[in-house]
A and B are shown apart, each in its own frame.
Chain A
Amino acid sequence: MGLLKLEEVEKIYRQGEIEVSALGGVSLEVEQGEFTSVAGPSGSGKTTLLNMVGCLDQPTNGEVYLEGEGISKLDKDQLALLRRENLGFIFQGYNLIPVLTVYENIELALKLLADRNNKDIKEQVMKILTAVGLGEMADRKPNELSGGQKQRVAIARALVKEPKIVLADEPTANLDSKTSIDVLEVMVEMNQKLETTFIFSTHDPLVMESAKRIIKLKDGEIIADERS
């Protein structure tokens, strides 16, 4: 059994009387170490798909399996634990905590995990910061960083606990194209070094091309799934 498997996943949003089908029966398998992009026009269901994979939301129908375990039977706290240990997130808006330093923002991810002593935490945080090229900026506050630097902090935060999957919803949407490529290179490098599985959504054809696998969505259906 693969790392991640979606089986006929449907998601219907209800807004009063109106029902919007955001995903219409998506099946999909992702193997350990894959670097996958999810592409598609606005409203095609990219975010919805990533939310399902990220256990942030439950499907209306169908099932998501993580290492063979279905998630629909888990409650809120169990899902939180599952995310804590297995999943890393990178968001378009970075979502760093402004009152914490770069170092502390990354540290937060490790502090949530039990049984780590401060020395190990420090070592791990500095290692990942150096890896994303921000070793010198550990004591800065997020508002003293550029957009690209902030997103690299977010990548470091997602990666520091060495999760099985990192999910990134349009990680480069707020960045110019040169910075986008930089950030993407960091992600590719991490994928190769740590064998972390990446799944990210994007509009940008340039970004899309750097992925080894491209899943194309349209109106909540997979219309193409190509590996290069």
Chain B
Amino acid sequence: MFLVRLAVRNLTRNKKRTLIVAMIIAFGIVFFVMFNSLVLGLERSYFDNVIDFESGHLQLVDDDYWPRQDELPLHNLITLDEQLQQNLSQVPNLKSYSPQIRFSANINNGLDELPITAVGVDGERKKEVFKLEEHLIAGELFTADQSGAVLGSSLAELMGFELGDYLLLVFTTAEGVFNTLEVEIVGVVNTPNPKVNDKQVYIPYQKASGALNTEDKATEIVMRLESDTSIMEAKEFIKNNIVAEIDKYAVYSWRDSAQDVVAMTEVQDIENRIITSLFLLIAAIGIINVIILAALERIKEIGMMKAMGMKEWQIIKIFMIEGLGIGVIGSIIGSLMGGVGVYWLVNYGLDLIEPDFGLPVVERTYGVWNLSAFIFVIAFTLIVSLVASIFPAYWAVCKEPVDALGGVN
């Protein structure tokens, strides 16, 4: 206890120095927790964008379709028959599902043509699975028996389309025959997902099936669960009960469809770690520096303590407690400031403009609370401050007591 009291008092000898190093540590912590919060927030909005607009939680597809889905082929499709509907109704925690048929088409406004992805969907079911309705900026989603098209806002703007205009889709059918479809625009969406905004056109499922000659078949059945914690369970169920019966079907989670995004977040995770290590290195150097300076200043006191019969490890302990003390002060300041910073990120967000990253995010990015980041960085800081003070203290203490006394003669 006496050693602890002495160590704490020692920290007040040069308050400025103690505070500067503690502040360096604090800023490291602030940076870490805010960066971590933002990365998690970004990650969550990537993932939400994929789930809400591209893949749902789970997809049932034909196993041969899956690897070639980027080419948007019209074979190896899936039939939503009575049996399958019955089976799907058994899936635990399933909120809704919807068949859809995606195909590549050119959109024509009478002057220009653009390649886009057209999606035949059941408007009613679709809004249960995806969050299109919330992001309508004009008009509405079509119902099952209606005709009409919904398209992304950027695409509408680019082609000069307005509500009530007719757009022309040009495409090839399943048999490879050219066909066209003229549809009235009934809705425009502006979603956080740039893919939807830039190059998607939704039309009624029946209409697409008819025009493509695909006999009511879907490219995939997308599913939304009550919560994303039950994905594994539902996936297992589908594997065991549906895929087991119809061998050529396969079930994939949103993670499987968002491989590149997942990979991206892993890279960010590594960046995060590198930056953190650098900060902790700076913190360690700061602490080593302080302990060396303190030991030099106190070389006579150390000699006196040794003369009085203090053992070496006791003196080292004093310095270690001092180092730890700096770490504690830095951690307290850092987590308070970091807490304020994360609060701000969570509530006000940050405008990250990343136009060419190809990431499915256009909105403001909001932070996420992650207590484990705080715990991790504080634990790490404390360990680093302890370890960093051992060596300079050991060096100072290993001098002979007479050397340390120096000027006694």
Interface residues of A, Cβ cutoff 8 Å to B: 46-47, 51, 54, 56-57, 76-77, 80-85, 87, 89, 91-93, 95, 97-100, 104, 107-109, 111-112, 157, 169-170
Contact B308 A83 (CB under 8 A): yes
Q: Among B307, B310, B311, B409, which residue has its beta carbon within 8 angstroms of that of A54?
A: B307
Query: Cα distance A54–B303 when bound, in Å?
Result: 13
* B349 adjacent to chain A (CB < 8 Å): no
Known: A51-B402, A95-B301, A108-B2. Contact between A83 and B307, CB under 8 A?
yes
Are A95 and B2 touching (Cβ within 8 A)?
no
Q: At the interface, is chain B mostly helix, strand, loop or mixed? A: helix
Q: In this assembly, does B179 line the interface, its C-beta being within 8 Å of a C-beta of chain A?
A: no
- A91 to B303 Cα, complex, angstroms: 11
Tell me, in angstroms, the Cα distance from A111 to B308 when the chains sit together. Answer: 11
Min distance, Cβ A35 to any Cβ of chain B, angstroms: 20
A100→B3 CA distance, assembly (Å)? 12
B409-A46 in contact (CB<8A): yes
Chain B residues near A97: list those with CB within 8 A: 6, 301
Seen from chain B, the residues whose Cβ lies within 8 Å of a Cβ on chain A are: 2, 5-6, 9-10, 12-13, 300-301, 303-304, 306-312, 400-402, 405, 407-409
Inter-subunit contact B400/A92 (CB<8 Å): no
A47 touches B409 (CB 8 A): yes
* Distance A104 CA – B307 CA, assembled complex (angstroms): 17
Contact B306 A80 (CB under 8 A): yes
Q: Report B322 CB to chain A, min CB distance, Å.
A: 11
CB distance from B207 to the nearest CB of A (A): 84
Query: Complex formed: what's the CA distance from A53 to B373 in Å?
Result: 57
The contact sample of 11 A-B pairs, CB cut-off 8 A, is A47-B408, A77-B311, A80-B312, A84-B309, A92-B407, A95-B304, A97-B301, A99-B9, A108-B308, A112-B310, A170-B409
Chain B residues near A99 (CB-CB < 8 A): 6, 9-10, 12-13
Given contacts A47-B408, A95-B300, A112-B308, contact A56 B9 (CB under 8 A): no
Q: Which residues of B contact A83 (CB under 8 A)?
A: 307-309
CA A109 to CA B408, docked complex, whole Å: 20
Distance between Cα atoms of A99 and B13 in the complex (Å): 7
Tell me, in angstroms, the Cα distance from A89 to B301 when the chains sit together.
Answer: 12
Known: A95-B300, A95-B301, A99-B12. A89 touches B407 (CB 8 A): no
Q: Is the CB of A93 within 8 A of B308?
A: no
Contacts of A77 in B (CB 8 A): 311-312
Q: Which residues of A contact B300 (CB under 8 A)?
A: 91, 93, 95
Given contacts A56-B400, A99-B6, contact A91 B308 (CB under 8 A): no
- Report A215 CB to chain B, min CB distance, Å: 16
User: How far is A100 from B402 in the complex, measured between Cα atoms in Å?
Assistant: 23
**Is B308 touching A89 in the complex (CB atoms < 8 A)?**
yes
In the assembled complex, the Cα of A66 lies from the Cα of B311 at a distance in Å of 20
**Bound-complex Cα distance A190 to B127 (A):** 96
Residue of A nearest to B5 (CB): A104
Q: Do B309 and A100 touch across chains, with their CB atoms under 8 A apart?
A: no
- Separation of A84 and B307 alpha carbons in the complex (Å): 8
Contacts known (A99-B12, A169-B408); A57 close to B308, Cβ less than 8 A: no
Looking at the complex, which one of B13, B309, B402, B408 makes contact with A98 (CB distance below 8 Å)? B13
